[in-house]
Amino acid sequence: MTPVSNLARILSEGQFAVTAECGPPQGADPTPLKEKGSLLKGAADAVNLTDNQTAVVRLSSLASAVALKDLGLEPVLQVVTRDRNRIALQSDLLGASSLGLRNVLCLTGDHQSFGNQAGAMGVFDLDSIQLLHTARTMRDQGRLIDGTELSSRPFFFLGAAANPFADPLGFRVIRLAKKIDAGAEFIQTQCIYNRERFEAWLKQAREEGLTERAFILGGITPLKSVRMAEYMASKVAGMDVPEEVIRRMKGAPAKGQGAEGIRLAVETIEWLKSLGGVAGVHLMAIGWEEKVPEILEAAGLLPRPAQAD
Amino acid sequence: MARHMSKQGEHIVVRFCHNQAGFMNLLKAGPKALPAGVDLAPLPCSGKVEPHQILSFFAAGADGALIQACPLGACRFVEGNRRAAKRAAYAAERLSELGLDPARVRFRYAEAGSNEDPESIIQEFIKSIRALGPTGLTGGRRGGGKAK
Amino acid sequence: MIVAERKPLAEILELVAGAKRLLVVGCDTCVAECAAGGRKEVAETAALLRMAFEQAGSEVEVREASLDRQCVNQFLAQVGEDVAWADTVLSLGCGAGVQALARFYPDQVFVPALNTQFIGTTVEAGVWAEDCSGCGDCKLAYFGAVCPLTRCSKRLLNGPCGGSRNGKCEVSPDVDCAWQLIYDRLAALNQLDRLRAFVAPNDWSTSHSGRPRTIIREDRRV
């Protein structure tokens, strides 16, 4: 099947892919987003636009994706099921495809209690796996999930998130399999600090044949400081930051912590490249987008393959 | 519930587990042995006391309620006294929502192996309630009285 | 049972403001079990109200009553005299009880004393937890008798999400991750293969989302 997006093409050609992430602003003017986006141009094969991440209201991922597409970047549209029912989700998927957006990452979303609208109703009409199934049904059968025929089909390259570090541990690879069965073609993982645990998960995935069926991109978030490392270790659900990583950050001089975090990120990318079954890297440098080109350069991943038209 | 409201006196309700021998003797000595305004009665177990009873005492005009339980670990019904402690605390919390001092409800475990004098325990409680003053509630008259 | 909690006293006082003859009526079924609206709670609430009224200098007469259930007409009929006497009735029943009273006595003012919350169980003395959200299409057989729609904060049918940590939900360490519970139960029952299968999107039309629901049994109608 012809790859429908630049990201899909690069992955299907067996090249080590790079995706990055961009958080839209808490306002109606997309300029800050465009500024962040332009830092990533030429550095990433595709850029994720988050969907009201941590349940904080932001410029919609759909509008943000169009803004970056107009700059010549290829977006990955993130869609959460927390805020919209199946009517709105299917409608938005049609809308996304009509605007030329192809990469769609299907997520459940952080609970609304984390955000700034804590009294909001959490919709959760569908979960992420049902959303994948829905998008694939629309794409491959040209139907909505009730069976209604579409007048024209959308085109998607479908993705999902995977967390090798969340509980229950024994179930994580089964969940990955379910996502791929439901239609996930590429996977972006939670950011990796615990290599041992990631390798164990990857090994299991490989044994289940999952690395053959979907492209797995390892998540990387460069640590800016010891405080950030400690915060992520204790306050963020589903995050695994081993003690030795925190010690390493502490070992760096106060002004050099960021540089140490970048060094660690580069080493992790190089290690990922060496693992069999990893198809690329997903750089989540939220608020630190300007460092992405530097990290990729150091990891030998620049220049990126040219975008086909 | 009897109301021995004396002209200046505080109205105190005292409930105790009947296993408290000292208190039982005081009860048997008759009402004249008690300070004015004290309503003393036994319970089969301190755990028999309930928050709504404690609050009803205050609604009817009590200024203080003292609950005397058996020593910790010595409850014949294993944990009746511990439950009573929690219920007393709950009732005290409800009083504080009305702007009444929660110290008006006193729960105490008897001290194991000691010969406590019930009269001094009661007198000490009366003193503390006197310091707080009356609640200003009379309760006896339906339709309410003037509050302070 | 239906589990509820009494409203703060300040709110109740606001709701009954202006009453001169107040009837406080409880229910001795679910809300008695969860210590919110049984006869003891009626006595407690009445005592608190009497004190509050006296403090405010309001002359209010307060009567107490209790019904076995506030959701069945035959019981509601028992309290007619007290309802007629009152100018305001404070119901310590669940939301259904308050509304049933109001339907049975349409000329009276009924005010809720409780915040009704959920269908649940007494986990241990003093602890009540939510178990069922009345989806109208019970799927407990497929999830080791742990309801994912009710006990998972995100109602996932293909859970868990990535926020499950040490068996707790990302929303709060006080909330168990339902999917950890489901996983553990199915593992113990040797039914883990149930979790491999895709669970299709739920049909919410049988739940409250569809419409307020009514069940009619002709064989039971008089």
Digit-coded pLDDT (tens) for A123-174: 999 999 999 999 999 999 999 999 999 999 999 999 999 999 987 777 889 9
Where do the structural domains in chain C lie, given as residue ranges?
2-118, 133-206
**A192 CB-side CA count, 13 A:** 30
How many Å apart are CA A35 and CA A25, to the nearest integer? 11
DSSP three-state, residue B26: helix
Digit-coded pLDDT (tens) for A172-200: 899 999 999 999 999 999 999 999 999 99
- CB pair distance less than 8 Å for C47 and B58: yes
Q: How confident is the model at residue A308 (pLDDT cuts 50, 70, 90)?
A: low
The chains in contact with chain B, meaning 3 or more Cβ pairs closer than 8 Å, are C
DSSP three-state, residue C160: coil
Q: Is the pLDDT of residue B3 over 60?
A: no
Domains of chain B listed by start with CATH number: 12-132 (3.40.50)
CB-CB contact of A30 with A36 (8 Å): no
Instruction: Please provide the average confidence, as pLDDT, over all residues in chain B.
Output: 89
CB-CB contact of B84 with B95 (8 Å): no
Q: Is the pLDDT of residue B141 over 80?
A: no
- CB pair distance less than 8 Å for B59 and C43: no
Q: Is the pLDDT of residue C124 over 80?
A: yes
DSSP three-state, residue A67: helix
Residue from C146, C149, C154, C204 whose CB has the most chain A CBs within 10 Å, to mutate:
C154
DSSP state of C34: T
Q: Is the pLDDT of residue C118 over 60?
A: yes
Q: How confident is the model at residue C110 (pLDDT cuts 50, 70, 90)?
A: very high
Q: Is the pLDDT of residue C119 over 80?
A: yes
- CB pair distance less than 8 Å for C54 and B145: yes
Digit-coded pLDDT (tens) for C152-163: 999 999 999 988
pLDDT at A309: 56
The residue in chain C having the minimum alpha-carbon distance to the alpha carbon of residue A164 is C162
Let me know if B134 is exposed, middle or buried by CB neighbors in 10 A (0-12, 13-18, 19+).
Answer: middle
Digit-coded pLDDT (tens) for C160-178: 998 888 899 999 999 999 9
The residue in chain C having the minimum alpha-carbon distance to the alpha carbon of residue A235 is C170
Please give the distance of CA C64 from its chain centroid, rounded to a whole number. Answer: 22
DSSP three-state, residue A114: helix
Digit-coded pLDDT (tens) for C126-141: 999 999 999 999 999 9
How many Å apart are CA A130 and CA A96, to the nearest integer? 18
Query: What is the complex's ipTM, to 2 decimals?
Result: 0.93
- CB pair distance less than 8 Å for C51 and B99: no
* B–C CB contacts, 8 A cutoff, strictly below: 63
Digit-coded pLDDT (tens) for A83-126: 999 999 999 999 999 999 999 999 999 999 999 999 999 999 99
HEC readout, C7-32: CCHHHHHHHCCCCCEEEEEEECCHHH
Please list every residue in chain A whose beta carbon sits closer than 8 Å to the beta carbon of residue C204. Answer: 125
Q: Which CATH number applies to A6-298?
A: 3.20.20.220
Bridge partners of C90?
Answer: C24, C111
- CB pair distance less than 8 Å for A130 and C157: yes
- CB pair distance less than 8 Å for A124 and C204: no
Q: Is the pLDDT of residue C27 over 90?
A: yes
Q: Read off φ and ψ for residue A10, nearest 5 degrees.
A: -60, -45
Digit-coded pLDDT (tens) for B74-129: 999 999 999 999 999 999 999 999 999 999 999 999 998 877 899 999 999 999 99
- CB pair distance less than 8 Å for A166 and C164: yes
Instruction: Please provide the average confidence, as pLDDT, over all residues in chain A.
Output: 95
CB-CB contact of B7 with B121 (8 Å): no
Q: How confident is the model at residue B148 (pLDDT cuts 50, 70, 90)?
A: very low
CB-CB contact of A180 with A161 (8 Å): no
How many Å apart are CA A2 and CA C159, to the nearest integer? 32
pLDDT at A101: 98
- C155 contact A CB<8A: yes
Q: How confident is the model at residue A287 (pLDDT cuts 50, 70, 90)?
A: confident
Q: Is the pLDDT of residue B5 over 80?
A: no
DSSP output for B86-140: HHHHHHHHHHHHTT--GGGEEEEEPPTT----HHHHHHHHHHHHHHH---S---S
pLDDT at A77: 98
- C127 contact B CB<8A: no
Q: Is the pLDDT of residue A265 over 60?
A: yes
Q: Specify the residue for token string 């299409």.
A: C137
Q: Specify the residue for token string 């700059």.
A: A71
Residue from C12, C20, C44, C58 whose CB has the most chain B CBs within 10 Å, to mutate:
C44
- A192 contact C CB<8A: no
- C57 contact B CB<8A: yes
Q: Specify the residue for token string 């339902």.
A: C178
How many Å apart are CA A230 and CA A236, to the nearest integer? 10
pLDDT at B140: 63
- A190 contact C CB<8A: yes
Across the range C198-216, mean pLDDT stands at: 95
- CB pair distance less than 8 Å for C51 and B59: yes
**Closest listed residue to residue A135, CA positions, set A107, A156, A160, A161:** A156
- B141 contact C CB<8A: no
pLDDT at A306: 85
Residue C95 C-alpha, separation from nearest chain B C-alpha, in angstroms: 23
Where do the structural domains in chain A lie, given as residue ranges?
6-298
The verdict on whether omega for the bond into residue C148 sits within 30 degrees of 0, i.e. cis, is no
How many Å apart are CA A161 and CA A196, to the nearest integer? 19
List all residues of chain A from 79 to 108 with a beta carbon under 8 Å from chain C. 82, 86, 108
**Closest listed residue to residue B57, CA positions, set B81, B75, B37, B71:** B37
Q: How far is CA A17 from CA A47, A88, A206, A251, C129, in A?
A: 11, 31, 19, 32, 47
Q: How confident is the model at residue A14 (pLDDT cuts 50, 70, 90)?
A: very high
Tokens for A212, please give them. 């053959």
Question: How many CB atoms are closer than 10 A to CB A309?
Answer: 4
- CB pair distance less than 8 Å for B59 and C52: no
Q: At what angle do helices B51-59 and B80-97 cross, to 10 degrees?
A: 40
Letter for the amino acid at C161?
A: C
Instruction: Please provide the average confidence, as pLDDT, over all residues in chain C.
Output: 96
pLDDT at B6: 43
CB-CB contact of C192 with C165 (8 Å): no
Longest dimension (CA), chain A: 62
Digit-coded pLDDT (tens) for A47-80: 999 999 999 999 999 999 999 999 999 999 999 9
Q: Is the pLDDT of residue A235 over 50?
A: yes
pLDDT at A85: 98
Residue C124 C-alpha, separation from nearest chain B C-alpha, in angstroms: 14
DSSP three-state, residue A159: strand
How many Å apart are CA C111 and CA C92, to the nearest integer? 9
- CB pair distance less than 8 Å for C156 and A124: yes
DSSP three-state, residue C199: coil
Tokens for A174, please give them. 């089964």
Residue C184 C-alpha, separation from nearest chain B C-alpha, in angstroms: 34
Question: What class does CATH assign to C2-118?
Answer: alpha beta
